[in-house]
Chain A
Amino acid sequence: MNDPIKQGLASGWQHLDASTFSTDQQFEADVVIIGTGAGGGMAAEILTQAGLSVLMLEHGALQSSSDFRQQERWAYPHLYQDGAARKTKDQAIAILQGRTVGGSTTVNWTTSIRTPQPTLDYWQSEFGLDFSPAAEPEHHLAPYFAKAAGRLHISEWQVPPNANNEALRRGCQALGWQYTVIERNVHGCANLGYCGMGCPLNAKQSMLVTTIPTALQGGARLISKVSARQLLWQGDQVTGLLAVPVDSAYQPDPRLQINIKAKHYIVAGGAINSPALLLRSEVPNPSGRLGKHTYLHPSVISGALFDEPIQGHMGAPQSIYSDQFVWPTSSEMGFKLEVPPIHPVLMASTLTGMAQFHAEMMRQFNQLQVMIALLRDGFDPQAQGGQVQLDSDGEAVLDYPLTDYLWRGVQKAYLAMAELQFAAGARAVMPVHQDAGLYNSWQQAKTAIADLPLARYRAALASAHVMGGCNMAATADKGVVDSFGRHHQLSNLSVFDGSVLPTSLGANPQLTLYGLIWRNSQALASRLVG
């Protein structure tokens, strides 16, 4: 199997592993990009192609197809934040977020969805953000979705869905609910099902195998295993960046210092780490919104047992979604219905219970179908998200309060998922909740779910989408950055990642970020190159 990254490195791409440094280091570039996920990766290609010298920094390691092992015990510690055990402050919500070159795009499930129109409309009315064709041409977002789709081979998945996704479709068909065949960013996908552990075939068109190689080929430099600690600033200018290497467990190691100077600084470390860097740097924050309004699409889970094999570890992890409940007409919290891939560690740690009960559920692993409902936070006064704070080590911790409004959404989502699973032919359904059991009929489930206590640690909650904390807004009183990701107070600082989103999306975020950051990078390149 070809590994384009190893081949590129052999041909002279400039990559340094900061954990091998033995003395303090200094670097200079036109632009330094902190983070190499959807935002940082996209920016690196466009700015390099504009003729700028680009330096990419990544906290994780440079791992590529020949390093990837299709084993969760390897993938989670080496490719995910906190070994895939990142949690909110009270540990009520588990957060899956990538930490490797390519960021979450290296480990995501490839679902590519444009920003929903109701979300764009809300941003326009609440934050003065106009991305529509009616706006100035350079503001218009849709052309960049088309460009990103072309660049990353995004198209509707033509292969029949795996049984896990097929159950979602069958349930929707039986109930007359809306569903959509998912568009995926893949090229030459063999329908294996290991997207979450890094694609072994380089079929997933992540930043790792698309924009980052182009940038490196064009002369950009990459430093991996480096943690950005503090931006230095004076007046309206960032004057430098202090960073340190990380150790073998990716913990910052302050014994060495790495000093970086650039004309422009791009923060793209994701919606938990980017606000934390800006908080550590004590940058101006007149809106008071820095680190606040962090959204998660908090997700609840429902398991179902089928007589026929589901084998949810095989095949494209996500190929069908349902938006039946995502934009309710009432004031209830909307949710999107999807399915996750089903691998042993992810399932065993998510399923509730222990001992005999848990063991019995695991023995039926291949009969297990799993649904997730992603709650759309950020659109209601009672769903204003969480707040990124710093712990005593200066590390990010996300405090995410769980409101009654959210719990009502959780209960509605449990009901919808159980109804759908029975409609799809499940013989038993079990909401993933400490107090739930296996229910044998929709009627039984309906009654039992109504009585489930709605409380943290009882309901299993997870998130794979972190958004907000440096929100964009047309004016400085309502946001941290403007509609092009430029910091409202520091003129040579941009934020190019999911933290700029003013609400959650009601859709998986990667395509929104590809389009938005392509647009923003192009505007920045014009400004810097002149």
Chain B
Amino acid sequence: MQRRQFIMLGLAAGATLATGVTLYPLAAADEAERRDAATLVLDAILPALLLGALPTEPQQQQTALLQTRNAALEFLPFLPKRSQAELSQLFLLLSQQLTRLALTGHLIAMGELSISQRLELLESWRTSYLTVLQQAFSGLRALLMGAYYGQPAQWPALNYQALEFRAYE
């Protein structure tokens, strides 16, 4: 994928989020559709965002990715309703936009991008001149980094061990 296409995707996403005008009836999406969209987007972003941090052994890596995605999804209900709605809209837009463009042959789905292309996509949000994309990058990054490093399985790599006064789980 070329940088120009990322920018176009950025513009579409930015315009949609900023104006509330959507190409798809996002508001009509039911809970299952929202969760599917969030899952799709998180599954696509996480291997890039966590590159260099993830375990190298394939099975451990898959487990870490799955646990991180689930931890992030389980955390979402604690956010204010308005933030949940904004994130939901972002996930739906990113999932649908990519799928639709993929059907026209212009773009492939997010999950089929190479890791370096996904990183380039994230980087394009980080440095975007569109406030809404910088916001999306900043929010998602904090949420997902927290979801990954909140798991005790990732602490040995940091040489961190939490106190335990009782057996949890």
Residue of A1, A72, A250 near B78 (CB, 8 A) is: A250
Which residues on the B side are within 8 Å of A249 (C-beta)?
Answer: 77-78
Residues of B112-169 contacting chain A, CB below 8 A: 119, 122, 126, 131, 134-135, 137-139, 141-143, 145-146, 148-152, 154-155, 157-160, 162-166, 168
Given A82-B80, A356-B52, A434-B126; A345-B152 close (CB under 8 Å): no
Tell whether, in the assembled complex, residue A363 and residue B157 are in contact, meaning their CB atoms are under 8 Å apart. Answer: yes
Nearest residue, chain A, Cβ from B155: A344
Residues of A70-94 contacting chain B, CB below 8 A: 70-74, 76-77, 82-83, 85-87, 90-91, 94
Residue of B49, B75, B143 near A77 (CB, 8 A) is: B75
Given A85-B143, A91-B138, A250-B78; A313-B160 close (CB under 8 Å): yes
Q: Does B48 contact A (CB under 8 A)?
A: yes
Tell whether, in the assembled complex, residue B159 and residue A71 are in contact, meaning their CB atoms are under 8 Å apart. Answer: no
Q: Does A391 contact B (CB under 8 A)?
A: yes
Tell whether, in the assembled complex, residue A359 and residue B51 are in contact, meaning their CB atoms are under 8 Å apart. Answer: yes
Q: How close is A394's CB to chain B, nearest CB, in angstroms?
A: 10
Tell whether, in the assembled complex, residue B135 and residue A349 are in contact, meaning their CB atoms are under 8 Å apart. Answer: no
Which residues on the A side are within 8 Å of B77 (C-beta)?
Answer: 249, 251
Tell whether, in the assembled complex, residue B78 and residue A348 are in contact, meaning their CB atoms are under 8 Å apart. Answer: no
Which residues on the B side are within 8 Å of A359 (C-beta)?
Answer: 50-53
Which residues on the B side are within 8 Å of A200 (C-beta)?
Answer: 163, 165
9 residue pairs A–B, Cβ–Cβ below 8 Å: A71-B152, A77-B75, A85-B143, A344-B154, A345-B146, A355-B53, A393-B82, A397-B82, A457-B138
Tell whether, in the assembled complex, residue B82 and residue A366 are in contact, meaning their CB atoms are under 8 Å apart. Answer: no
Q: Does B8 contact A (CB under 8 A)?
A: no
Tell whether, in the assembled complex, residue A395 and residue B78 are in contact, meaning their CB atoms are under 8 Å apart. Answer: no
Tell whether, in the assembled complex, residue B160 and residue A344 are in contact, meaning their CB atoms are under 8 Å apart. Answer: yes
Which residues on the B side are within 8 Å of A496 (C-beta)?
Answer: none
Q: How close is B122's CB to chain A, nearest CB, in angstroms?
A: 6
Given A344-B154, A354-B49; A83-B160 close (CB under 8 Å): no
Report, as a range, how many residues of chain B touch the other chain: 35 or more
Tell whether, in the assembled complex, residue A362 and residue B79 are in contact, meaning their CB atoms are under 8 Å apart. Answer: no
Q: Does A335 contact B (CB under 8 A)?
A: no
Given A251-B77, A344-B160; A71-B53 close (CB under 8 Å): no
- A68-B78 Cα distance, complex, nearest whole Å: 18
Which residues on the B side are within 8 Å of A85 (C-beta)?
Answer: 75, 78-79, 83, 142-143
Which residues on the A side are within 8 Å of B158 (C-beta)?
Answer: 344, 362-363, 365-366
Which residues on the B side are within 8 Å of A349 (C-beta)?
Answer: 141-143, 145-146, 149
- A457-B141 Cα distance, complex, nearest whole Å: 12
Q: Does B13 contact A (CB under 8 A)?
A: no
Which residues on the B side are within 8 Å of A76 (C-beta)?
Answer: 146
A residues sitting closer than 8 Å to B (CB atoms) are 1, 66, 69-74, 76-77, 82-83, 85-87, 90-91, 94, 192, 194, 200, 249-251, 313, 343-345, 347-351, 354-360, 362-363, 365-366, 391-393, 395, 397, 434, 457
- A391-B75 Cα distance, complex, nearest whole Å: 21
Q: How close is A74's CB to chain B, nearest CB, in angstroms?
A: 8
Residue interface mask B75-114, A partner, CB < 8 A = 1 = 1011111110000000000000000000000000000000
Nearest residue, chain A, Cβ from B71: A73
- A357-B123 Cα distance, complex, nearest whole Å: 13
- A86-B142 Cα distance, complex, nearest whole Å: 12
A356, A363, A457 pick with most chain B CB within 10 angstroms: A457
Residues of B40-88 contacting chain A, CB below 8 A: 48-53, 71, 75, 77-83
Q: How close is A94's CB to chain B, nearest CB, in angstroms?
A: 8
Nearest residue, chain A, Cβ from B119: A355
Given A91-B139, A360-B52; A73-B82 close (CB under 8 Å): no
Which residues on the B side are within 8 Å of A393 (C-beta)?
Answer: 80-82
- Of all A-B residue pairs in the complex, the 5 with the closest CB atoms, nearest first, are A83-B78, A359-B52, A73-B150, A359-B53, A356-B52
Given A90-B135, A355-B50; A192-B163 close (CB under 8 Å): yes
Tell whether, in the assembled complex, residue B160 and residue A355 are in contact, meaning their CB atoms are under 8 Å apart. Answer: no
The total of Cβ contacts below 8 Å across the A-B interface reads 131
Which residues on the A side are within 8 Å of B48 (C-beta)?
Answer: 354-355
Which residues on the B side are within 8 Å of A354 (C-beta)?
Answer: 48-49, 51, 119, 122, 126, 141, 145
Q: How close is A72's CB to chain B, nearest CB, in angstroms?
A: 6
Nearest residue, chain A, Cβ from B145: A348
Nearest residue, chain A, Cβ from B159: A366
Given A70-B164, A355-B49; A83-B75 close (CB under 8 Å): yes
Q: How close is B121's CB to chain A, nearest CB, in angstroms?
A: 12
Q: How close is A406's CB to chain B, nearest CB, in angstroms?
A: 18
Which residues on the B side are within 8 Å of A194 (C-beta)?
Answer: 162-163
Which residues on the A side are within 8 Å of B151 (C-beta)?
Answer: 73
Residue of A70, A77, A356, A391 near B163 (CB, 8 A) is: A70
Tell whether, in the assembled complex, residue B53 and residue A362 are in contact, meaning their CB atoms are under 8 Å apart. Answer: yes
Tell whether, in the assembled complex, residue B142 and residue A366 are in contact, meaning their CB atoms are under 8 Å apart. Answer: no
Which residues on the A side are within 8 Å of B165 (C-beta)?
Answer: 1, 70, 200
Which residues on the B side are within 8 Å of A360 (C-beta)?
Answer: 52
Which residues on the B side are within 8 Å of A343 (C-beta)?
Answer: 160
Q: How close is B131's CB to chain A, nearest CB, in angstroms?
A: 8
- A347-B71 Cα distance, complex, nearest whole Å: 17
- A365-B159 Cα distance, complex, nearest whole Å: 8
Given A91-B139, A249-B77, A356-B52; A71-B150 close (CB under 8 Å): yes
Q: How close is B54's CB to chain A, nearest CB, in angstroms?
A: 8
Q: How close is B145's CB to chain A, nearest CB, in angstroms?
A: 4
Which residues on the B side are within 8 Å of A366 (C-beta)?
Answer: 158-160
Q: How close is A338's CB to chain B, nearest CB, in angstroms?
A: 21
Tell whether, in the assembled complex, residue B75 and residue A356 are in contact, meaning their CB atoms are under 8 Å apart. Answer: no
Tell whether, in the assembled complex, residue A82 and residue B50 are in contact, meaning their CB atoms are under 8 Å apart. Answer: no
Which residues on the B side are within 8 Å of A358 (C-beta)?
Answer: 52-53, 145
Nearest residue, chain A, Cβ from B78: A83
- A391-B82 Cα distance, complex, nearest whole Å: 8
Tell whether, in the assembled complex, residue A457 and residue B135 are in contact, meaning their CB atoms are under 8 Å apart. Answer: yes
Which residues on the B side are within 8 Å of A357 (C-beta)?
Answer: 52
Q: How close is A400's CB to chain B, nearest CB, in angstroms?
A: 15
- A410-B164 Cα distance, complex, nearest whole Å: 38
- A347-B148 Cα distance, complex, nearest whole Å: 12
Which residues on the A side are within 8 Å of B137 (C-beta)?
Answer: 457
